[in-house]
Every structure is written in structure tokens, then in C-alpha cells.
Amino acid sequence: MSKYPGFTIDSSWILSRRGSKNQVDPFRPYAFFVEKEHTSGGNIEEVAAVFLTNRECPFSCLMCDLWKNTTDNPVPPGAIPTQIEYALSQLPPARHIKLYNSGSFFDPLAIPPEDYEKIATLLEPFETVIVESHPAFINHKTLSFSKLIKGALQVAIGLETIHPEVLPRLNKKMTLADFEQSVSFLSSHGIGTRAFILLRPPFMTEEEGICWANKSMDYAFRTGVDTCIVIPVRSGNGAMEYLEKQNYFEPPDIQSLEKVLEYGIHLKKGIVLADLWDIDSFSSCKKCLQPRKERLNRMNLLQTVMPPVRCSCTD
Ligand code: SF4
Ligand SMILES: [Zn+2]
């Protein structure tokens, strides 16, 4: 069997495999919480995470399921500030904030630029503001927003993988040159960057998944990124289930995430965090799941490699 399917993976194919969206309210974020994170100052601090409801991202990446909590049309001006205000009124205090919008913060059809000033006022208490964006939307609007906010801006960009044959097949419509250009543009204006890196995207074996996540992290830090977030790839958007059935995709094991996190922390080039959302689904052994989760969480917070978990499933 070939490593890659014979059919073309493009937006229309990906969209045709989708199920339905969740019901969302344009005046409420679809999730929010405060979590602890290892920050650039070397401390463990509270970070508020607000998942904004807004128009669906115009890219349709093969592995993305963020469209599930989006609207079909742009939200009206004023809706995003209302969402942030609501989340902040419910959350305990935090020093930093992530505003993730299932797309690009600087996409004018996602976050209306006329709302930037109001958003900046609401963000005054925060030392760091983290938003996400595809390189296609990183431009003068990013600089305008950065100037409006009191705290330091950090932009998270999905690097996904540097594998030369897999990255184009993810339908991200981004080249490594685009990524590098965005990171250097942001750095030259004193704006921080974080990179999302996929652990075992489609068309990779478990070993290749680990190897390319490590290579992608090396590359991201060489490019000048401050923080790497390693995301184990899951199915759940229709297209991925199809690829899974055809043996073009298998989710990675929690132990591979541990290996990649260990590698990244050993590099000492910047902060490396494992994304632990829905982590239970990446383990086939009930016995060691809890200790592995705790190990990953401690490694995230302390940025130190912790002693390995021993279990009959691997020993
Ligand atoms: S750019 Fe990001 S949000 Fe948009 S489809 Fe791709 S992964 Fe999803
Ligand atoms: Zn086990």
C-alpha cells in the first residue's frame, strides 16, 4: 500500500466528510478556564484561556476540528468584547491570557478590527496576551493590535510539521517560508511567538511521528520561536476517521508524547509544552495512564524531565 492516498485531499474533499457543528452563541465564548503554565519568566503562573466564538476559519486543514464551535457568518461588531467581558467576570484572576478563536485573530472576518480598542481595554490587567493566527493574516493589523494592548503580545502559529510531503497534504496552504517570514516579522517588532507542532499527523508511523515532531521543534526554535506546543493528533472531524479506516492515520500513544516532550525539554531552546486536552484517549493501558498524565503535567510546569513511569505494558 502506498504511503499516500491516490485521491486529492483538498478543501472540498475535507468539507464533504464533515458532520454538523455545535450550537454556539455569538455573544458567549464556547469555553473558558484558568490553567497554570510555565511562563517565559521561568515561573509557574495562572493563564486565563478564553475560546472565542466567531466565524469559521477560511482554511480547512485536514486534521482540524475547530470548525465545530464556529459560526458560518462573521459575528457582529461588539460580540467579541462581550464574550471576553463575560469570561473575565466568571474567571479567577490570572496574569496572562490566551484568546483562541479557532482560526486567526487577525482575520478581519473573524475578529472585527473595529473591536480591537475595546478588546485592548479589557486586556489591560494582563502582562501577556496570546492569540493565534495563520501566517496569511500576520501583517500591519497585528502591529496595530500589539500597540493598543498594555501587555506583551505573543502569537501562536500552527507549524504542524516540517515533513516536506505531509505539510502540503494537510491543506494548510502554508509553506515553511511563510512560517519563517511571519516569525521574523513578529520578532523584529518585539512580538513573541509560539508554534503548534503535531505529533503523528496522517501518513506517518509512530516512530516517524516522534522523529518529525522532534525535527519540527528543532526547526521552530532555529527560526526564533519562544515556545512549542506539541499536540497529539486525534480524529473527530470526519476526514480523519476516513483516513483512519483506510490505514493512513493512527493516533499516537501517550508514551510518544512523553518522548517528544523529553526531547524538547532537553533541547533547552525555549519552553516546550505537551497539549493534554483529551489525553486519556491516547492511552491503551489503564494502569499507567494516571501516572503518565501526572508526569506530563509536571514536565510541562517544571520544564524538567521527570523519572519515567514503569508499567508492565512496556517493561
Ligand atoms: S488554520 Fe488553524 S484553525 Fe484554520 S483550519 Fe487550519 S488548523 Fe484549523
Ligand atoms: Zn501501562
pLDDT digits (tens, 9 = 90+) for 163-182: 999 999 999 999 999 999 99
Q: Give the per-residue pLDDT at 2.
A: 81
**Shortest-distance atom of ligand 1 to CA 174:** 1
Going from the C-alpha of 252 to that of each of 116, 128, 208, 308, the distances in angstroms are: 39, 32, 11, 18
For residue range 74-97, list pLDDT tens digits in order.
999 999 999 999 999 999 999 999
Residue 2 lies in a domain: no
Q: Which residue among 30, 56, 59, 133 is best mutated to probe the pocket of ligand 1, counting the most ligand atoms within 8 A of its Cβ? A: 59
Going from the C-alpha of 215 to that of each of 166, 184, 209, 211, 272, the distances in angstroms are: 13, 19, 10, 6, 14
How many residues appear in the chain?
Answer: 315
Residue 4 lies in a domain: no
How far is ligand 2, taken at its centre, from the CA of residue 308, in Å?
A: 12
The answer, as to whether pTM is greater than 0.85, is: yes
Q: Which residue among 14, 54, 61 is best mutated to probe the pocket of ligand 1, counting the most ligand atoms within 8 A of its Cβ? A: 61
DSSP letters spanning 29-71? -SEEEEEEEE-TTSSEEEEEEEE---BPPS---TT--GGGG-B
Residue 199 lies in a domain: yes
Q: Is the CB of 239 under 6 A from ligand 1?
A: no
Q: Give the per-residue pLDDT at 182.
A: 98
Q: Whose CA is nearest to atom 6 of ligand 1?
A: 61
AA letter at 228: C
CA 232 distance to own-chain centroid: 10
CB atoms within 10 A of CB 33: 14
Mean pLDDT, range 105-126, rounded to an integer = 98
The answer to whether the CB of 148 falls within 8 A of the CB of 38 is no
H-type helices in the chain, by residue range? 11-16, 79-90, 116-122, 140-148, 166-169, 176-188, 206-223, 239-245, 254-267, 286-302
Mean pLDDT, range 211-228, rounded to an integer = 98
Residue 3 lies in a domain: no
Residue 230 lies in a domain: yes
Domain with 33 in it: 11-302
Rounded to 5, what percent of the chain is helix, strand, coil? 40, 15, 45
d(CA 155, CA 190): 11
CATH code of 223's domain: 3.20.20.70
Q: Is the CB of 103 under 6 A from ligand 1?
A: yes
Q: Give the per-residue pLDDT at 13.
A: 98
Q: How many domains does the chain have?
A: 1
Q: Give the per-residue pLDDT at 192.
A: 98
Q: Give the per-residue pLDDT at 314.
A: 85
How far is ligand 1, taken at its centre, from the CA of residue 14, in Å?
A: 12
Residue 61 lies in a domain: yes
The answer to whether the CB of 183 falls within 8 A of the CB of 216 is no
Mean pLDDT, range 106-129, rounded to an integer = 98
Residue 5 lies in a domain: no
For residue range 51-70, list pLDDT tens digits in order.
999 999 999 999 999 999 99
275 three-class SS: coil
Decide if pLDDT at 315 tops 80: no
Angle, to 10 degrees, between the axis of helix 206-223 and the axis of helix 176-188?
40
The answer to whether the CB of 63 falls within 8 A of the CB of 233 is yes
Residue 132 lies in a domain: yes
The answer to whether the CB of 135 falls within 8 A of the CB of 107 is no
**Shortest-distance atom of ligand 1 to CA 160:** 7
Q: Is the CB of 102 under 6 A from ligand 1?
A: yes
Chain mean pLDDT for the chain: 97
Q: Is the CB of 198 under 6 A from ligand 1?
A: no
